[in-house]
Each structure stands twice: as C-alpha cells, then as structure tokens.
Structure 1
Amino acid sequence: MRRRVLLLVAAATTLVLVAFLVPLALLVENVAADRAVQRATVEAQELTSLVVTTERSSLAASVREVDANSPYDVSVFVDGDVLGARASRSSLVTLAEHGISQSGEVSGGREIVFSVDRPGASPAVIRTFVSDTELASGVPRAWLLLGGLGVALLLVSLLVADRLARTFVRSTVDLAAVSHRLGRGELEARANTTAPAELGVVATALNGLAGRIAEALREERETIADLSHRVRTPLTSLRMEADALADPAAAARVGAGVDAVNRAVSEVIAQARRRGAAPESADAAGVVADRVAFWAVLAEDTERELTVAVAPGPLPVGLARADLEACVDALLGNIFAHTPNGTAFRVALSPRDGGAVLTVEDAGPGLPDGGVVRRGVSGAGSTGLGLDIVRRAGERTGGSVRLERSPLGGLRVVVDLLGPR
C-alpha cells in the first residue's frame, strides 16, 4: 500500500510539474529571445542619427566602435559599402534599401534591418545580427533552476506522501494485528482509535466488537457455571444414595459413575474459564488407554467383544486432556447408546507425522445419514452433540473427522489429531 501511494503521488506530481514547468521553460526562452532582439533594436536605432549627420569618414570609425562594444554584429550599408561587421547583402537588406525595415530568422540567428532616409542621397541600411547563442542567453541556467525546482518539489511531495502513507500503513497493520490477536482469543486486545480518517472509525468498531465478544463470553461462562452448579446438587444426592447401597461392588460402581459425572461438570466450568488461553496438549496414547479401560467394564457387562490396538506412547496431540477424554467418551458412548448389546467394536490409535490417528468402529447398523456430524442433528433421538464434539476436537488440533463404512459392518469414525503447535 505504501509503495502504491508513493507511485500515485509521484505520477500525479510529475504530471503537474510537467504541465507547469514546460510552458514556463518555453516562456523563459521566448522572453530571453525578445530581450536580446529588443537590445539589438535599441542599439541599431541609436545609429540612425549618426548615419544621417556624420561625415562618411567619421561614420566608418563610429560604426566600428559600436560593433566592437556590442555583443551583436552591427553593420551599415551605405552607398554600396559595408561599414562595421562584415555582412552579405541579404534579401532583408535589399528590402531596407527600398525603404522597408523589418527583422527575420536567418541561418545562425536573427537579422534586424532599418532603412535610414538621407536627404539628397539613397537610403542607408543599418543591420544588426543576433546569434542563436545571444538569443538563448541565460536560458540554460533558467532551465536548470526550473529543473532543480521541479525535482525539489517532487522530493518534497514524496516525503510528505511517505509520511502519510506510513501513518496509514502503520494503522492498517495495527488493525490487522489486533484482529489476529482477537482471533487467537486475546480479548483484551484493542485498536488505536486515533488512527487517521476512516481507519479510526474501523478501529472504534473493532473495539466495540471485541468488547461485545468479551461480554458475550463472560455471560456464557456465567451461564455454564450456573448450570453446572445446579447439576452438583442432584449429584451429591446420588453420591449419598450410592454410599448407602448394601452391595459394596454396586456402591463402588455407582460412585465411580457419579464421580465421573462430577469431574465432567468441573471440567466444563474450567474449560469455559480458560477459553482463549494458550493451547494445551495431551498424550493421546495414555488418554485413550485410560478411557478404553473405563468403558471395558461396561463392554463386558453388555457382552460386547472389544478389540484394542493402542500404539505405545507418548503420542502428543494439540488438545487438552479433558477435551480428548470427552472425544473418546463421545465415540464409545455412541456405540453403547445406538447399538444393541453384544455388538463388537474396535478402538485403535496409531501414530502419524506430528500427531495420532484415532479409529473407532463397530459392527452395528451404521449411520443412516452422514449429516449427524453436524451439531444438533441426530438420527436416533439424541441431542446430536456426540459426533459434533468429536468433530470440534479434531478441528481444534487442525485435523479432521471422517465417517466410513467399517469392515465389521457398522460405522467407522477416523479422527486425525495433529500435534501441538
């Protein structure tokens, strides 16, 4: 942008200078030529009285003296002789001998002739020759000054334009930097509203947008915290009832479930509060192994054959441990919720270049519509958030989620989890 502004100003300034300086240079040339012609004319007119009143012998000496002191060639044609500077009898001189005085362009300069009437004799002719050098006297210096003035004006305009362009570019770069910071979750970033012209308006609007986003997130966090706090009350009641069960094994199993829900609620609150913070990472191998071990108990109770192929860790991915646990739980929970008891399933985790690939597949009926990966869309009467949690987890690392037909006959979900950035 800065370069374009400079080019635009340079082009506009150059056009203005050319339109101004070229006519001025031509005017200077014409003025110099007119001045030289005028001086030569005055000197020729001063000889008129000498030609009329001076004797022939004295006239020759006077003309030679005038010619020697003049920057021009001065000649007098009288009675067939040429006094002063040597000159040929041109057509203008011939006309002047017939009483016609005039001037005109000749080779090498300009010739000025005057016809002088003499009583009782033929007219005399006074000729002054102004060379091209004299006609252009002072013009090169004037042109040089005009050229220097033009260059100086161009440099000044470029300097001013550069200062203005730098201000605009700096303000634009600052706005872009603030936008990127807001995109990274730094909601305290604010733009400089003193930026020039419309950029200041944009900065004010961007600051207002940032404030509105921060306010919306604050309200969202407060709402999540409030809802999560409300859930704790029935969880506490369930925990007390679990402790009161007569069967210790059942009490431990129910208590573990309640604790898991309680941890999930706590993580929801923590996640809402840390939103916008620096990205975290987790060991995918450890997390997947832990969650598979948790769900293996339920798989055994529902007579589901479970195949596990988890590569040895560590396999770091760019996702917080709690988010990765929620992703694995959503995939395994969908199998238990939407396939009949006894349905076999398989969990695999393999390394990839900079991350890991999580694959969960089952031998169930599969999905009737691939659109269930969209948030809030379900084909089985659920909330439709399970696969959306998986999708967001993959995309948060920069990866993706693919839904395929499993060789087992049901659904295969492949989650690409990229490493921390």
Structure 2
Amino acid sequence: MLVAATTSLVLIALLVPLVLLVRTAAESGAVDRASAEAESVAVAVGALEAATPGTAGPGTEPGAGAVDGRAADLETLRLTVERAAHPTTVFLGDGRVLGARADRSPAVELASRGRSVTAAVPGGREILVAVEGAPGGTAVVRVFLGDDELARGVTRVQTGLLVLGLVLVGLGILVADRLARAVIRPISSLAKVSHRLAAGDMTARTVPGGPPEVHAVGLALNHLAGRITGLLAEERENAADLSHRLRTPLTGLRLEAESLSDPDEAARIEARVDALERAVTAVITEARRRTRERDECDAVAVVGDRVAFWSVLAEDQGRAVELDLAPGPIPVAVAADDLAACVDALLGNVFAHTGEGVALGVRLAAAPGGAVLTVTDAGPGFGTTAPLERGESGAGSTGLGLDIARRTAESSGGALTLGASPEGGASVSLFLALPRRAQARPCSKPRPVR
C-alpha cells in the first residue's frame, strides 16, 4: 500500500504536466499547419495585386486582357480556397467573400486593418492573415480550426500515458512485494520459533536470514534458546544432586527403622520412609522432566478415590461429607497423579482451615467442553472472590494449595474460580477441559498420599 501510494503520487506529479504538454503541443501543431495553409492562400491573394492589364490583341478592345486575367486569378483563388484542408474564407477589400461561409467577426475587422491575429471563437479558433495591397484594399484570409482538430491525437496519447502509469504502479507493487517477502519470511520464521520455544520445544532454532537487522535478531533468538536450554540442563543436574542428597538420609532412616526391636514400630516407620521416598522421587522426576506432557484420565475415578481416602479422616473428625459424582467416565486433560494432588490440596485446605465437625462437599459434573469440580465447606470462607497470589495465605500456611489447583486447571485449558458456598463457607470451582481425544485412555490409579 505504501509503495502503491508513493508510486502513484510520483506518477501523477510527472504525468499531469506531461498530459498538459501533449495537449499544448497538439494545439500548437494544428495552429502551425493552419497558419501555413493561410499563408499559402495569402500568396494567391497577393497574386491579384500583381495582375496588370495585358496587351490587347488585334480586334480586341482595350483593357479586355486585364479583365480576363483578373477573372482567371479570381477563379484560381477560388479553387485554391475550396481545396484547402480546413474551412478557409477570403474577405476581399471590395467586400467580396470567397470560400466557406463565415461571419465578419470583430477579429476579421481587426485583421482588415493590417494585423494578422489568432482568435478563439465558439467551437474552435480563427487563424486570420492580413494581405495588404490587394485589389479594393486589405484582404483577410480566415482559416477555421475546430476543437476536434485542435485535440486530434491527444486522447490516444493520454490513454497511452494512463496505461503506462498503471503498468509502472503494478511493477512497483510487484517489486515491493518481492522485497517485502524477503523481510517478512525471516520474521515469520522467528515468530514460529518463538512460539515453539514458548510451548516447551527447546530444540527449536531458526535459520538466520533476511536483512542484517533481522539476521541479528535470529542469531540473538538462537543464542537465547541455547541459554535457556543450558539453564534447564543445569537445573536438572541440580535436581539429580538433590535426589542423591535426600536419599542418603532416607537410607539412614531405613537402617534405623530396621534396627528397631519392635517389629510393628519398625514396619510403621519403614512405611513412612517408603512414602517419603516415593514423594521425593516424584518431585525429582517432575523437576527433571523436560516438558509437561498433557496426559488424561477419568476424573470420576480419581475424584472418587481421593474422596474415599479423605473420608476416613473426616469420619474421625465428625465431618459430614457430601459426594456428588456424575456418571462416568468423564475424561479430562490432566494426568491422574496431578488431579489427585489437586484434590488432595483442596481437601487438605478444608481440614487445615476449618474446625472439626465442619461439613464439606465435593461435586463433579459434566460441562460443555469438560468437567467442573467444586469443593465446598461450611467454614468461615475466603472473604474474597479474587484468586490469591502464590504464597499468600491468611491462615499461616504456605499458600500453595490453591496455586496447585489453579495450575492443574490451567494446564488442561481450564480455570479456577473462588466463591461462597450455600452454607456461607468457601467454594472452589475448577473447570477441567476435555482431552484432545474423545475418550480418556485408561489411567493408572494414583498413589495414595499418607
């Protein structure tokens, strides 16, 4: 668009004066041709002045030869005027008019005083040539040029210039398009690589190209991707070191448990150590994982299993648990372990921040595009519907439970919403999106958390 506008302005600035010049040149050429024609007729008119009385032959009256010569010259002049290419009129000094009919205009009167002029009249122009010394006084030769004669060939030339201008604009746009593509292609490639990097593909790289500035941006993006890959590798190595550091004291605890004299106590402590080791291993595996693959599972099975696990503690604390599960299966785009950890975090918040005997409810319902998981209680509530920031808590906890639930929902393409329950307590709703496939593949039963 920019090149088209610029080219059009330049061509208009050049072609408009050129069109005017062509018109002026055409008019000037037509006037010159008509003037030359008028001059030739004026020569014939001047020949009347040169005619002198001839010598009378035997038996002729005196002066008869002169009369016959003048009549012959007038006939010659009449034929010359009639054969002219343009309408030509001769106004003789004695009042006679030869040639095309024409009114004796003011311009003709002016020319009869001995001044050759060109005058504009309706429909064209008059070319007037004064011939002094003609019989009867000054004669005037009039050649008429019509408007079509003045503009002959101008339309054809203007059309040619217009076509030329359009062709030049088209060529300019074509060249600009090719030049722009040389810049757009590398920029589009940079955008695609940046989107791949943002999606977690750390192997994405671009082939630098285009102008020097775009080439430099491509090199910088590749350097940034390499730096990010290096930092992630360093973090994975740190996670591996952390696993070794944590497993050493765990091994010591296991040996201490095996040395206990009470078999039941030893088995109980070993079970705790096993659970702790599994939790540590899961954390390390998650930290070392390059990308977070989007898994899927049956939300009904996972939520039902976790509620059954927490129901034992609820029964001990005298809490009423209301469970409302939609008929399954309901596939969601969340791994079974991640969904189990999310449910554990939400139910753990209820047990941690409400008193014993406070009822709670868990509802899982199918929704367009996914499922909605709602956990409610009859406690004091949040006091706000705005999502809490990561690490914030008004109850002295780490404030990570709701953040875990939020990230779980968002990883599936859903969202978390806070509200108030019908009993006036807290209500947490998670929308979990459907997986890409219509049905969830069989998911493993989540590991119990003790």
On whether the aligned pair clears a TM of 0.5, the verdict is yes
**1:233 deviation in Å?**
1.7
Of structures 1 and 2, the larger Rg is shown by: 2
**1:37 deviation in Å?**
0.8
Of 144, 147, 153, the residue aligned with 1:129 is 144
Q: 2:47 aligned with 1:53, yes or no?
A: yes
**1:335 deviation in Å?**
5.1
What is the DSSP-based 3-state SS (H/G/I as helix, E as strand, rest coil) of the residue aligned with 2:89?
strand
Contact 2:331 2:434 in 1 (8 A): yes
Aligned to 1:399: 414
Contact 2:183 2:211 in 1 (8 A): yes
Unmatched segments (≥5 aa) in structure 2: 52-69, 437-450
Aligned to 1:183: 198
**1:402 deviation in Å?**
4.3
TM-score by length of 1: 0.82
Aligned to 1:307: 321
Q: Quick one: which amino acid aligns to residue 126 of structure 1?
A: V
Aligned to 1:30: 24
Cα distance between partner residues in 2 of 1:295 and 1:213: 41
Aligned to 1:13: 7
Cα distance between partner residues in 1 of 2:385 and 2:198: 30
Q: 1:161 to 1:240 in 2, by over 3 A?
A: same
Contact 1:343 1:364 in 2 (8 A): no
Q: How does 1:229-240 map to 2 (within 5 A)?
A: 229-240=244-255
Q: 2:55 aligned with 1:40, yes or no?
A: no
Q: How does 1:21-420 map to 2 (within 5 A)?
A: 21-54=15-48, 55=51, 56-78=70-92, 79-118=94-133, 122-167=137-182, 170-196=185-211, 200=215, 202-295=217-310, 303=317, 305=319, 307=321, 309=323, 311=325, 313-334=328-349, 343=357, 346=360, 348-353=362-367, 354-360=369-375, 373-403=388-418, 411-420=426-435
Q: 1:106 to 1:355 in 2, by over 3 A?
A: closer
Q: 1:258 to 1:413 in 2, by over 3 A?
A: farther
Q: Quick one: which amino acid aligns to residue 91 of structure 1?
A: P
Q: Bigger shift: 181-190 or 242-251? A: 242-251
The number of residues matched between the two structures is: 413
**1:344 deviation in Å?**
5.5
Contact 1:178 1:190 in 2 (8 A): yes
Cα distance between partner residues in 1 of 2:197 and 2:256: 47
Cα distance between partner residues in 2 of 1:352 and 1:237: 48
Q: 1:362 to 1:138 in 2, by over 3 A?
A: closer
Contact 1:63 1:84 in 2 (8 A): no
Q: Bigger shift: 145-154 or 391-400? A: 391-400
Q: Quick one: which amino acid aligns to residue 25 of structure 1?
A: V
Contact 1:168 1:196 in 2 (8 A): yes
Unmatched segments (≥5 aa) in structure 1: 1-5
Aligned to 1:3: none
Contact 1:372 1:379 in 2 (8 A): no
Q: Deviations over 1:99-120 (max 9, x none)?
A: 2221101232211122222278
Contact 1:60 1:84 in 2 (8 A): no
What is the DSSP-based 3-state SS (H/G/I as helix, E as strand, rest coil) of the residue aligned with 2:137?
strand
Q: Quick one: which amino acid aligns to residue 392 of structure 2?
A: V
Cα distance between partner residues in 2 of 1:28 and 1:372: 76
Q: 1:278 to 1:252 in 2, by over 3 A?
A: same
TM-score by length of 2: 0.77
**1:320 deviation in Å?**
1.7
Cα distance between partner residues in 2 of 1:34 and 1:230: 103
Contact 2:314 2:321 in 1 (8 A): no
Contact 2:45 2:77 in 1 (8 A): no
